[in-house]
C-alpha cells in the first residue's frame, strides 16, 4: 500500500479531509489533476458555516475581507441583514478567490503531513473484486498506480471516479447552473454580500439569484445561479442574462464590459445529495462529488469541508478497529452520519426548490416577505443553515423542529 487513504481532488473538500486525516496520524495521498494556484468557477463567498470550518482547520484569517451579512435587493426593497449571533457559528463571513483559498488549503494539507501530488489526473479505480483498492492516474511521467485500503472521491461535480464505480447522478435531486465573472469596481471592499432576488427572463421571474461579492482586491465577483425547477432551466442564455442584469445597475458601480477582468464562466451546482450512496466498496464521496451543495442558497464550500471532516473522522475511527469486518461496519456509518447532519434539511430544500420554481410563488415571496425584517431574519437562518443546535432563540427552535419533522433524504 502507498498510503492509508487516497484522496482524489484537492478542492476545499479534499484538502479539508487530508488535513483532518493527517492530523489523526493517517498516511494520506492527495491527488490533484491541476497545479496550484488554479482557478475554480465560484462566487468566492464564505458564510459563517465556512468560516467555522476554516478556523477548525487552523487557517489564519487575519487580513481577509470580512462581511457582516446579506444585503438583499428585490421587489422594490433593499434590506441589510446581519449574520445571526450564535454560539455554534462565528458572526461573520469572508470572501476569498478560489485560486487563493484552494492553494492555501492544499498547502495546509501538506503542512499537516499529507503527500500532495499535483498534475496527477486520476483515470479510474483499481479493483480487487468489487472493492476499490487504489487508482490509476496520468502524470507527466506517464501512467502511475497508487494503492490504499480506502479512497475518497473529492473530484467535484462531474466526479469521474464515482462514475467509474457506477455511481451516477440522481435525476430526482435538484441541480443548479451558475455563471460568474469579475468587474473592477469601487464597491470591491463592500462588507455585505449582495443578493438580487429578481432575475427576469422577459416576463418570467427565474428561481435563483444574482450576487455581487466584493473581493477587496479592486474587483467584485458578479454572478447568478438558476435552479432546474423552472421551465426556463436550460432554455436561458445565462451569460447574456448576466450581461442584461448588470446593465440595469448604476454605471458608477463599474459593472460595465470594459471593467470585466475575466470571461463569464459557468458550472453546475449538484444539490441535495444528488449522488448516492456516499459510501460503497471502499469509496467515500465528499463535497460536490456527493452532490452536497445546499438547495437553499447554492453554498457548497462549507458542505465540502464539513463532509471532508466527517469522512476523515469515520476513517480514523475505522482504523482503530481490529478486524476487516469491524472496519467496514465503521465506514458504512459515513452515509448515515451525513443523513443525520443534512438529510432532513436537504429534504426541506428540495421542497423549497420546487416551490420557487413557480414564478408566481417567487413573485409573492419577494414582494411580501422583504418588507418584514423579522420574517427575513428567520429566512436567512433557514437558507444559510445557521442555528444553534441546543438552546438558541425561538427562530432556531422553530427551524430545528421543522428540520426534525422532515424525512431524511
What residues make contact with ligand FAD under the rule CB under 6 A?
A: 8-14, 31-34, 40-45, 121-122, 154-156, 160, 178-180, 223, 267, 269, 287-289, 293, 299-302, 304
| CB nearer to ligand FAD: pick between 196 and 327 | 196
Decide: 181 and 44 in contact? Cβ < 8 Å. Answer: no
Q: How far is the CB of 101 from ligand FAD (least distance, A)?
A: 9
Other beta carbons within 10 Å of 191 = 15
Q: How far is the CB of 372 from ligand FAD (least distance, A)?
A: 26
User: Whole-angstrom Cα distance, residue 396 to residue 273?
Assistant: 24
Q: How far is the CB of 31 from ligand FAD (least distance, A)?
A: 5
Q: How far is the CB of 224 from ligand FAD (least distance, A)?
A: 8
| CB nearer to ligand FAD: pick between 11 and 349 | 11
Decide: 314 and 333 in contact? Cβ < 8 Å. Answer: yes
Decide: 175 and 269 in contact? Cβ < 8 Å. Answer: yes
Residue with CB nearest ligand FAD? 300
| CB nearer to ligand FAD: pick between 45 and 74 | 45
| CB nearer to ligand FAD: pick between 327 and 383 | 383
Q: What share of the chain is helix, strand, coil (3-state, %, to 5)?
A: 35, 25, 40
User: Which residues face 147 on adjacent strands?
Assistant: 134
Q: How far is the CB of 401 from ligand FAD (least distance, A)?
A: 26
Q: Which helix (H) or strand (E) holds 113?
A: none
| CB nearer to ligand FAD: pick between 101 and 395 | 101
| CB nearer to ligand FAD: pick between 157 and 229 | 157
Q: How far is the CB of 302 from ligand FAD (least distance, A)?
A: 6
> Rounded to whole angstroms, what are the CA distances from 193 to 23, 90, 96, 210, 259?
33, 16, 12, 11, 20
Decide: 376 and 72 in contact? Cβ < 8 Å. Answer: yes
| CB nearer to ligand FAD: pick between 327 and 409 | 409
Cis peptide before 128 (omega within 30 of 0): no
Residue recorded with cell 467555522: 52
What does DSSP say about strands 28-31 and 115-117: parallel, antiparallel, or unpaired?
parallel
Assigned C-alpha cell, 153: 472521491
Q: How far is the CB of 322 from ligand FAD (least distance, A)?
A: 32
What does DSSP say about strands 279-280 and 115-117: parallel, antiparallel, or unpaired?
unpaired
Amino acid at each position: 500500500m502507498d498510503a492509508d487513504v487516497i484522496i482524489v481532488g484537492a478542492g476545499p473538500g479534499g484538502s479539508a479531509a487530508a488535513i483532518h486525516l493527517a492530523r489523526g496520524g493517517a498516511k494520506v495521498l492527495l491527488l490533484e489533476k491541476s497545479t496550484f494556484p488554479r482557478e475554480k468557477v465560484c462566487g468566492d463567498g464564505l458564510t459563517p458555516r465556512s468560516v467555522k470550518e476554516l478556523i477548525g482547520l487552523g487557517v489564519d484569517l487575519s487580513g481577509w475581507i470580512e462581511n457582516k451579512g446579506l444585503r438583499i435587493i428585490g421587489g422594490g426593497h433593499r434590506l441589510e441583514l446581519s449574520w445571526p449571533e450564535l454560539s455554534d457559528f462565528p458572526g461573520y463571513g469572508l470572501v476569498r478567490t478560489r485560486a487563493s483559498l484552494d492553494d492555501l488549503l492544499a498547502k495546509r494539507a501538506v503542512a499537516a503531513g499529507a503527500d500532495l501530488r499535483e498534475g496527477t489526473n486520476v483515470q479510474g479505480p483499481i479493483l480487487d473484486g468489487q472493492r476499490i483498492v487504489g487508482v490509476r492516474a496520468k502524470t507527466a511521467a506517464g501512467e502511475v498506480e497508487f494503492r490504499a485500503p480506502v479512497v475518497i472521491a473529492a473530484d467535484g461535480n462531474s466526479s469521474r471516479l464515482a462514475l467509474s464505480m457506477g455511481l451516477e447522478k440522481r435525476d430526482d435531486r435538484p441541480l443548479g447552473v451558475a455563471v460568474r465573472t469579475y468587474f473592477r469596481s469601487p464597491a470591491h471592499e463592500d462588507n455585505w454580500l449582495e443578493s438580487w432576488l429578481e432575475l427576469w427572463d422577459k416576463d418570467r421571474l427565474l428561481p435563483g439569484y444574482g450576487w455581487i461579492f466584493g473581493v477587496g482586491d479592486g474587483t467584485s465577483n458578479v454572478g447568478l445561479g438558476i435552479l432546474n425547477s423552472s421551465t426556463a432551466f436550460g432554455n436561458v442564455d445565462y451569460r447574456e442574462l448576466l450581461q442584461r442584469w448588470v446593465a440595469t445597475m448604476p454605471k458608477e458601480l463599474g459593472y460595465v464590459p470594459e471593467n470585466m477582468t475575466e470571461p463569464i464562466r459557468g458550472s453546475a451546482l449538484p444539490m441535495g445529495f444528488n449522488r448516492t450512496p456516499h459510501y460503497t466498496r471502499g469509496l467515500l464521496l465528499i463535497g460536490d462529488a456527493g452532490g452536497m451543495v445546499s438547495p437553499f442558497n447554492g453554498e457548497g464550500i462549507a458542505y465540502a469541508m464539513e463532509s471532508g471532516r466527517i469522512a476523515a473522522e469515520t476513517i480514523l475511527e475505522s482504523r482503530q478497529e481490529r478486524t476487516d469486518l469491524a472496519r467496514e461496519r465503521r465506514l458504512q456509518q459515513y452515509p448515515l452520519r451525513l443523513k443525520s447532519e443534512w438529510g432532513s434539511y436537504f429534504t426541506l430544500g428540495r421542497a423549497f426548490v420546487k416551490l420557487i420554481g413557480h414564478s408566481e410563488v417567487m413573485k409573492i415571496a419577494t414582494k411580501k416577505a422583504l418588507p418584514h425584517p423579522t420574517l427575513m431574519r428567520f429566512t436567512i437562518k433557514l437558507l444559510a443553515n445557521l442555528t444553534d443546535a441546543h438552546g438558541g432563540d425561538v427562530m432556531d427552535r422553530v427551524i430545528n423542529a421543522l428540520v426534525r419533522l422532515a424525512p431524511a433524504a
